[in-house]
Each structure stands twice: as C-alpha cells, then as structure tokens.
Amino acid sequence: MDLAYKRFLAEPPCRALFKNHIPQWLFSLLLLSQNFGIVIRMNLIETLESLEPVFVEAAKLALKMQIGVSSHNKTNTGDNLFDIVTDADLAVQEFLLEKISETDLINCHLLAEEDTLSVNKFNLHGEYYLAIDPIDGTATYSKGGKCFSTIITLHDGKNILYMFDYFPALNYGHKTVDSKYSTYGVLPDFVLLPEVKQTIIYWSSGNPEKNIPELYSELKNKGISFTKLANFGPDANPTTMFYEGKIAGLYHENMNVYDGLAHLSVAQAKGSKIYSGGQNGSLDLRNIQKRETGLYYPGWYLVLNTLSFST
C-alpha cells in the first residue's frame, strides 16, 4: 500500500491537485472503492456467465412456442416490423427475469422490452444496466423464420461489459465479455451475392445519408452502398454477416436499449473501425429516452468490417 501510495502521489496530476498532502487514509479509501467497483463488475459478469444455460433454455422455450404463436402490435404506430409482440415474448421474458431476479443482478437497472410481472423487482437506480430482449426479430419469429434470438446485455453507462445473443433455431450464438468475442455452435451458411461485400446494412428507421452525410459520401465514393436490412429477406442476420465478413459494415440509428448494442459490442470486440455520435457529441449510454415503441439511445454508430479510410 505504501508503494502504491507513493506512486499515486508521484503522478503529475496528483502532485498538482493535492500538492503531496492527500492523507494516506483517504487514498486507501479511494483505492478500496475502486477495487470494490471492479469486484462488483466481475461478480455480475460471472453471474451472467453462470446463467447462460438459462438463457439458452429461454431461447429454446421461444422456439418451442413458435408454431401457432399469436402476435399483435404493441402500440398504434402501424409498424409491423418493430412494433410487434407475441405471447412468447412475454413468456420468455418472465422466465428469464424470474431466474435472474434470484441473483445479485436484481440490483441492476433493468431495461426490459416487455412489461411483465417481475420487471418491478429490479433497482430503477442501479449503477449497472441490464438489457433483456426475449425475442429479437419478433416479426421474423411470428412468420416462422429461423433468424431470431434472445439477447442479454450488461453495461455500466460507458462500457459494454457483457453481451449474449443466442439463436435457438440455428443452435448458434455470439458472446462478448469485456471486449472478448466468442461464438457458440456451428456458423450458419448464408448464401449472398458477391456485391454484398460492398454493402453497409442499416435498419429502416435510419437515414445515414441525412445523418452522416460526409461519411456517407466518402463511402459511396469508395464503391460502398447502403442497403436496408429488409431487402435481404426475413432470415438474414446482420451480426452473423458482419462477423463472417460478408458485408462491409452496419449502421444503427437511435438504437433501442434492448438489443441495439449487440452489434456495437461485437464490433468493439473484433477491433473493427467504429464511428458514433449522440445528442451531445458522443454516444451516451446513460442518456435513455422514451418513444412510442419503447426506450432508446439517441444517437448512431457505424461499424466497418475490413474497410479502412481516414476522415
């Protein structure tokens, strides 16, 4: 402790701020607080990893309920792609929350897509944000498609600490833990045209040409096109296509909090080129706002696969 204390005081910012007069007891308290935060973070991640069999079980419950499942719009937006919920969404989320709430994760600020019974068990003022998307790709799911998944994400307002994304119909998944990426199962074989490698996928609610005009023009000049995800058909999965190098990149705008960080998490873990922005300049994961279809992060991000250029 004495050595750490001396090194702390030797740092130029500390010398200027404290003039070598910070009491050692205060330094010890600061160090203890920092270490305590690290321990909490590690414990939460370890708990999530221990729950992965539960996440897989929940996703398989969704698969079991797929045949004959009923669906309806959650609000009056008329959007049949994003504003849709099934009985399975509700059942799978409640199954997950019942199991998760038995752990220390109950102290997290829960970001749950559906309003089920166990939502109120969690800490609205928690320091860590736990996002649950019971069925990502509900529109595909309700039509009998295979590319739907269960997504669990944890972040601290600045960094994505954990992301688990499992596709039960494919027995395949992605996972990031502290920016380390891994996969589960056998990679699906997506048959795409060669020119798709020169394509950046974006969601129908985004407008990259308007929102990032300089980047948009620069990429277009390099022969890169922007195409909506809907143009690839119901069983196209952007995360898998991005990981496999089958597309040039992904653009996401005003991401919903339940699944909107999954692709960013993978890109960070892969060391991909990332551009992002928000209301105050940078993308702020604590800035959570509400719209008719749910909670979202105001801002955008663009992740590039093998492309490199300077702005």
Interval 223-266: pLDDT, tens: 999 999 888 876 777 877 887 788 999 999 999 999 999 999 99
Q: Which CATH number fits domain 194-304: 1.20.950, 3.40.190, 1.10.286, 3.40.50?
A: 3.40.190
Confidence of residue 49 (pLDDT cuts 50, 70, 90): very high
Domain covering 46-185, topology: Fructose-1,6-Bisphosphatase; Chain A, domain 1 (3.30.540)
The confidence score (pLDDT) of residue 13 equals 47
Interval 4-37: pLDDT, tens: 544 544 454 444 444 445 556 555 555 555 554 6
Taking residues 272-289, what's their average pLDDT?
Answer: 94
Q: Is the predicted pLDDT of residue 140 greater than 90, yes or no?
A: no
276 residue type, one letter: S
Q: What are phi and psi of 93, to 5 degrees?
A: -65, -45
Query: First vs last Cα of the chain: how many Å apart?
Result: 45
Confidence of residue 192 (pLDDT cuts 50, 70, 90): confident
Domain ranges of the chain: 2-40, 46-185, 194-304
Rounded Cα–Cα distance for residues 168 and 147 (Å): 9
Rounded Cα–Cα distance for residues 136 and 185 (Å): 19
